[in-house]
């Protein structure tokens, strides 16, 4: 093709307002604002057209050449989905003495869909001491491969050796996506890895999928206090890293017929290299903290209770159904109940089989923490309360009349046993 027929990015200078959006968007550093106009550096421009839709005054266009899609060679690196040869979806398998946190299996469930969409491997990153069983188990939950570092230095979690182990594996095998559970450990580890690798990390994602056109990971999470959902892309760094809270994603059914390939790697670290020493271990003294995250039945109370004593009634309902007690943030902020019970964006994400919301309005920050529950029952005096929009069963009424009646019926019909044995679901 003759040079003058090749497609060329052009600008209408009279329309340009020198906002700089095209300069920021260009992956090839080919546009610069000079004075009050954007100027194109034709030596660098690959006619990828990323700047065109971003321009608020439509002053950029392509002239010459074929009209449609840009040539493959002209695509920016991330459009190919293989920045620097990165490929594969990895999940960090969080374990403590061989016991794996269920969020890791949930992330493998989500990772399976991402890997299948991208046509790449799904792998578990398994660190610890004597962790081969964890790697095998990761296969049962969907992983094709496990990258394992088995080393006494990794027996108990400490940030620096765990981060060093992850970074050595990531640097060697270059996964495109790394997912970590948003647990206390996971939040600590993911931040350390992303900082060291100089890549992006989106925390507390509620949705992950692959952008059809660019093949980038679309990382969706609530922003501005939950008033909007933001979808975040890591365009130019790899790996793309996200943390996801427990119970947000769903694990695949465990399948013992699935095989996994195990790749073992060494870690050039000894105990002497690690500054942090474990001098003792004391279990969390708050043994009464509710296990909301994995509860099958949750009865939650909100400001509609009117006073802290209202939670006594919610506890009676939870006891009658064999469930645990949750709460809205309004009640936690009011000091009616401890934060361990708070469900929602700044509390715990839950996915029970049955969620009963008593006197809770249904603010978005509460809903994002419980809307994946299998069955939602709402009790509220206000028929227009937003909670009714997501409830499977809504009872418009005073909770102080409705809840005692529910407790009575639950006891009369022996619902606790039926629910716990699964008969009533």
Ligand X SMILES: Cc1cc2nc3c(=O)[nH]c(=O)nc-3n(C[C@H](O)[C@H](O)[C@H](O)COP(=O)(O)OP(=O)(O)OC[C@H]3O[C@@H](n4cnc5c(N)ncnc54)[C@H](O)[C@@H]3O)c2cc1C
Residues at the interface with ligand X (CB under 6 A): 225-226, 302-304, 328-331, 342-347, 359-361, 363, 365-366, 369, 379-382, 385, 398-400
> In the structure encoding, which two tokens stand for residue 302, read together?
């909100």
Q: Which residue is nearest to ligand X (CB)?
A: 344
Comparing CB distances to ligand X, the nearer of 239 and 359 is: 359
Q: Give min distance, CB of 332 to ligand X, in A.
A: 8
Comparing CB distances to ligand X, the nearer of 112 and 329 is: 329
Comparing CB distances to ligand X, the nearer of 219 and 380 is: 380
For 180, the enclosing helix (H) or strand (E) is strand 177-181
Residues 247, 349 contacting (CB under 8 angstroms): yes
Q: Give min distance, CB of 227 to ligand X, in A.
A: 8
SS3 176: coil
Residues 94, 134 contacting (CB under 8 angstroms): no
Rounded Cα–Cα distance for residues 265 and 132 (Å): 12
Q: Give min distance, CB of 347 to ligand X, in A.
A: 4
Alpha helices in 334-414 (DSSP H): 364-367, 387-390, 399-412
**Number of other residues whose CB lies within 10 A of the CB of residue 405:** 11
Comparing CB distances to ligand X, the nearer of 66 and 408 is: 408
Q: Give min distance, CB of 242 to ligand X, in A.
A: 20
Q: Are strands 60-63 and 8-11 parallel, antiparallel or unpaired?
A: antiparallel
Comparing CB distances to ligand X, the nearer of 96 and 382 is: 382
Bridge partners (DSSP) of residue 9 are: 62
Comparing CB distances to ligand X, the nearer of 83 and 399 is: 399
Name the strands in the sheet holding 261-265, side by side, starting at the edge strand that comes first in the sequence.
Answer: 201-205, 240-244, 177-181, 89-93, 122-128, 145-150, 261-265
Q: Give min distance, CB of 355 to ligand X, in A.
A: 12
Q: Give min distance, CB of 115 to ligand X, in A.
A: 31
């Amino acid at each position: 093709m003759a040079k003058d027929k090749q497609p060329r990015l052009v600008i209408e200078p009279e329309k340009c307002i020198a906002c700089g959006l095209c300069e920021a968007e260009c992956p090839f550093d080919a546009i610069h604002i000079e004075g009050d106009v954007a100027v194109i550096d034709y030596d660098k421009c690959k006619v990828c057209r990323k700047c065109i839709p971003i321009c608020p005054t439509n002053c950029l266009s392509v002239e010459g050449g074929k009209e449609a899609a840009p040539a493959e060679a002209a695509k920016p690196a991330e459009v190919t989905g293989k920045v620097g040869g990165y490929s594969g979806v990895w999940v960090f398998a969080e374990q403590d003495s061989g016991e794996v946190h269920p969020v890791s299996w949930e992330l493998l469930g989500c990772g399976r869909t991402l890997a299948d969409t991208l046509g790449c491997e799904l792998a578990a990153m398994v660190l610890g001491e004597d962790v081969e069983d964890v790697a095998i188990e990761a296969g049962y939950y969907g992983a094709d491969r496990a990258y394992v570092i088995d080393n006494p230095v990794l027996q108990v979690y400490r940030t620096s050796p765990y981060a060093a182990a992850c970074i050595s594996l990531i640097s060697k095998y270059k996964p495109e996506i790394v997912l970590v559970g948003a647990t206390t450990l996971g939040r600590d580890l993911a931040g350390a890895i992303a900082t060291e690798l100089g890549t992006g990390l989106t925390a507390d994602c509620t949705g992950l999928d692959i952008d059809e056109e660019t093949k980038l990971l679309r990382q969706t999470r609530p922003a501005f206090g939950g008033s909007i959902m933001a979808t975040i892309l890591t365009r130019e760094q790899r790996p793309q890293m996200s943390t996801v809270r427990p119970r947000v994603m769903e694990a695949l059914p465990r399948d013992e017929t699935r095989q996994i390939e195990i790749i073992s790697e060494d870690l050039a670290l000894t105990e002497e290299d690690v500054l942090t020493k474990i001098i003792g271990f004391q279990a969390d003294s708050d043994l009464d903290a509710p296990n909301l995250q994995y509860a099958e039945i949750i009865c939650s109370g909100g400001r509609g209770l009117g006073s802290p004593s209202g939670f006594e009634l919610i506890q009676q309902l939870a006891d009658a159904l064999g469930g645990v007690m949750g709460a809205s943030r309004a009640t936690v902020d009011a000091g009616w109940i401890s934060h361990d019970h708070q469900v929602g964006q700044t509390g715990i994400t839950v996915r029970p089989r049955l969620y009963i919301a008593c006197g809770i309005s249904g603010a978005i920050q509460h809903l994002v923490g419980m809307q994946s529950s299998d069955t939602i029952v709402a009790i509220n005096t206000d028929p227009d309360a937003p909670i009714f929009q997501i409830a499977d069963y809504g009872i418009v009424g005073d909770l102080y009349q409705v809840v005692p009646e529910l407790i009575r019926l639950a006891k009369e019909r022996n619902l606790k046993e039926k629910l716990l044995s699964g008969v009533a679901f």
